[in-house]
Amino acid sequence: MVRLPAVAGRFYEADPSLLQREIEAYLIPGLPKEEAIAAVCPHAGYMYSGHVAGAVYSRLIIPDQVVILGPNHTGLGAPAAIMTRGEWQMPFGPVPIASKLATRILSLSQVLEDDAEAHLYEHSLEVQVPFLQYLNPRVSIVPICLSALPLEALEDIGLAIARAVSEAEEPTLLVASTDMSHYVPHEVAKAKDALAIERILLLDHLGLLEVVKRERISMCGVYPTAATIVAARALGARKGELVKYATSGEVSGDFYQVVGYAGIIIR
């Protein structure tokens, strides 16, 4: 299957030359690059969150395989959907699915389903791909789109990813795609998001789920992030680092209803 872009021309530039300039404007040249087990990046339009994602990707060595986990905003398809074959057509050209890795993850999970429908119009994974492809034109991806799932399902998915990645012959990066608080005042977003970020930095997936529920934090990608933390810990991760936090108000000037964005590296 060839998946066509759902948000090119809206969340990011559809023209390759314009997209290149857009991404280069958000990357920070000259930073030392490192391998990482995982990253957490926002998925809003680049105008609002591209500088946060760019701050993270500027510091990463992007391997040839990347597993991207994002939330299902559309409600389409299976609640735990992985694509195991095909390619994503993007402005910079096609990005293949890492079929061997994706198929192995699917075989190890009792929860994931091979389902392309959930990915058709979902933006949360797609907006990560231009950054990844710009930094490594050889990149292949494993897209995983998650709805609200119980703890046991998230742990199943995380452990399946970890086992498959540990068996893989080449390095693999995990990317959890999430925005933080939605449509609350700037200061409220900062305070609430700090509580969730603290749990992510401690690689505490249980604490993250608990604080998001208790404080009613409208973090759309809490489930993909929790599954990513499970996988990262199983792969030997010990800590996270907050690279950058911002809200949409810093771009729009509207501080009454903002969306929060956090960029984190897990190593």
| Residue % of the chain over a pLDDT of 90 | 99
Summarize the confidence of residues 221-240 as an average pLDDT: 98
- Single-letter amino acid code for the residue at 70: G
How large is the average pLDDT for residues 203-229?
98
pLDDT in tens, 101-126: 999 999 999 999 999 999 999 999 99
Residue indicated by tokens 């929060």: 260
Tokens (6 digits) for 38: 């995982």
The span from the CA of 118 to the CA of 100, in Å, is 20
Length of the chain: 267
Contacts of 232 by beta carbon, 8 Å cutoff, 6+ apart: 37, 38, 162, 174, 203, 266
Tens-digit pLDDT profile for residues 29-74? 999 999 999 999 999 999 999 999 999 999 999 999 999 999 999 9
At 142 the three-state DSSP class reads strand
Which CA distances in Å does 1 have to 94, 120, 194, 222?
12, 11, 40, 28
Residue-wise pLDDT tens digits, 127-170: 999 999 999 999 999 999 999 999 999 999 999 999 999 999 89
Asked whether the whole model's pTM tops 0.95, one would answer yes
The stretches of the chain forming alpha helices (DSSP H) are 16-26, 46-57, 99-108, 123-126, 129-135, 151-167, 186-201, 205-214, 222-234, 249-252
What does DSSP assign to residue 128? Answer: T
* Domains recognised in the chain with CATH numbers: 2-266 (3.40.830.10)
Q: What pLDDT score does 139 carry?
A: 98
Per-residue confidence (pLDDT) for residue 242, from 0 to 100: 98
SS3 for 98?
coil
- CA gap 47, 28 in Å, rounded: 16
* Mean pLDDT along residues 207-223: 98
Indicate the average pLDDT of the chain.
98
Kindly tell me if the per-residue pLDDT of 77 is higher than 90.
yes
- What span, in angstroms and rounded, lies between the C-alpha atoms of 66 and 217? 28
Mean pLDDT of 228-240: 98
Q: Measured between alpha carbons, how far is residue 60 from residues 36, 72, 231 in Å?
A: 7, 26, 18
Residue 146, helix vs strand vs coil: strand
Is residue 193 within 8 Å of residue 261, measured between CB atoms?
A: no
Q: What pLDDT sits at residue 169?
A: 84
